[in-house]
Amino acid sequence: MLSYSYQRKYCGKIQAVIFDWAGTTIDFGCIAPAVVFVQIFEQAGVPITMTEARLPMGTHKKEHIRQLLQMDSIKNRWQEKYQRFPTDDDVDQLFENFVPIQIDCLTQYASLIPGTLKVIEEIRARHYKIGSTSDYLRNMLEICLKETKKQGYQPDSFVAVDEVPSARPHPAMCLQNAINLEVSTLESCVKIDDTIPGIHEGLNAGMWTIGIALSGNEVGLSLEEFNSLSIEEKNRLRAHAYERLSASGAHYVVDTIADVMPCLNMIEARLAGGERP
């Protein structure tokens, strides 16, 4: 009988970086989905705030609507409007209303976040593969891909939420990217995301994670809106976003995609030492 056991360690380089979309590579502030959630609830006669609309961000859009309707504040407003609490039929109807409005506005919010192309160029130079996950449906994601390709960004793999059995925080989209990209081990992958479910998605897949604070959902302001703030207000919002993403388990948190390369360097150093996520 053996008296010892042995642990296999990966000590190689990063093989793949898997990016989120809105708030991470495009749409500074993750505006596109938030404004549509506000709009469909307004149309239903039960207005919600932008802050409320953002709380479940990162989940499947239909699940996002379900979670909004489960919030006490919104559920009670729904009961006041319709003399009953919301049902699954209401979720279905709101989601049906959501899809065409979201599709119609995506091109308005498909600009790359500053620094994206430079980071992609550096990643390409290192021969990392590039994947992506999104809580957009496939037909929505294809609109984003068409727009970003014009700007010089096209990942090697892209997986939409309706192409896998389970949405975030389940790891299915990350795992499908790993399959598509033919990486040899999950600890060689890095997931970069601006939402807590997106960070959990990467962690659940056994990957390194980097949270995006300022350009994403946790701050939720366009670049122009953010730049107009005082230094004190910027610092307050930054601290809040960093705290939230760090508490979610992210290995690193940075302001925007422009700041991820030092984190990738540190991850490679940790991998060389045999560390795992």
* Per-residue pLDDT reduced to its tens digit, 149-168: 999 999 999 999 999 999 99
Counting Cα atoms < 13 Å in the Cβ hemisphere of 59 gives 13
Residues 83 and 117 in one domain: no
Residues 64 and 137 in one domain: no
Q: Name the β-bridge partners of 254.
A: 212
| pLDDT exceeds 90 at position 107 | yes
Residues 194 and 129 in one domain: yes
**Number of CB atoms found within 10 A of residue 224's CB:** 9
Domain tally, the chain: 2
Q: What is the pTM of this model?
A: 0.95
Question: In Å, what is the CA distance from 223 to each residue of 27, 214, 244?
Answer: 9, 9, 20
pLDDT tens, 54-78? Answer: 999 999 999 999 999 999 999 999 9
Task: Supply the pLDDT for residue 1.
Answer: 57
| pLDDT exceeds 70 at position 18 | yes
Q: CA 60: distance to chain centroid?
A: 11
| pLDDT exceeds 90 at position 258 | yes
Residues 171 and 238 in one domain: yes
Lookup result for tokens 């910027």: 234
Name every residue whose Cβ is closer than 8 Å to that of residue 9 and which is 6 or more positions away in sequence.
274, 276
Q: Which two tokens stand for residue 263?
A: 């984190």
Residue closest to 23 by CA, chosen among 54, 64, 50, 66:
54
Boundary-marking domain end, from 58, 87, 108: 108
Residues 98 and 222 in one domain: no
Q: Which residues of 43-80 are buried (b: 16+ CB within 10 A; e: fewer)?
A: ebebebeeebbbbbbbbbbbbbbbbbbeeeebeebbee
Torsional sign, CA 26, 238, 128, 198: negative
Q: Give the full edge-to-edge strand order of the sheet including 189-193.
A: 159-160, 129-134, 16-19, 189-193, 208-212, 252-254
Task: Supply the pLDDT for residue 8.
Answer: 87
* CATH number for 230: 3.40.50.1000
* Domain limits for position 199: 16-30+110-272
Beta strand residue intervals within 29-154, DSSP E: 129-134
Domain-embedded: residue 9: no
Q: How confident is the model at residue 5 (pLDDT cuts 50, 70, 90)?
A: confident
- Report the chain's mean pLDDT, rounded to a whole number: 97
Q: Name the β-bridge partners of 209.
A: 191
pLDDT tens, 201-215? Answer: 999 999 999 999 999
Q: How confident is the model at residue 36 (pLDDT cuts 50, 70, 90)?
A: very high
Residues 85 and 165 in one domain: no
Residues 24 and 49 in one domain: no
DSSP class of 113: P
| pLDDT exceeds 70 at position 235 | yes
Residues 132 and 263 in one domain: yes
Residues 178 and 115 in one domain: yes
Q: Whole-angstrom Cα distance, residue 95 to residue 124?
A: 37
State mean pLDDT over 102-117. Answer: 97
| pLDDT exceeds 80 at position 2 | no
Q: How many residues does the chain have?
A: 277
Boundary-marking domain end, from 108, 133, 163: 108
Q: Whole-angstrom Cα distance, residue 182 to residue 33?
A: 31
pLDDT tens, 179-200? Answer: 999 999 999 999 999 999 999 9
Residues 102 and 116 in one domain: no
Residues 93 and 157 in one domain: no
Task: Give the residue numbers marked as catalytic.
Answer: 20, 61
Question: In Å, what is the CA distance from 245 to each residue of 18, 110, 150?
Answer: 17, 24, 31
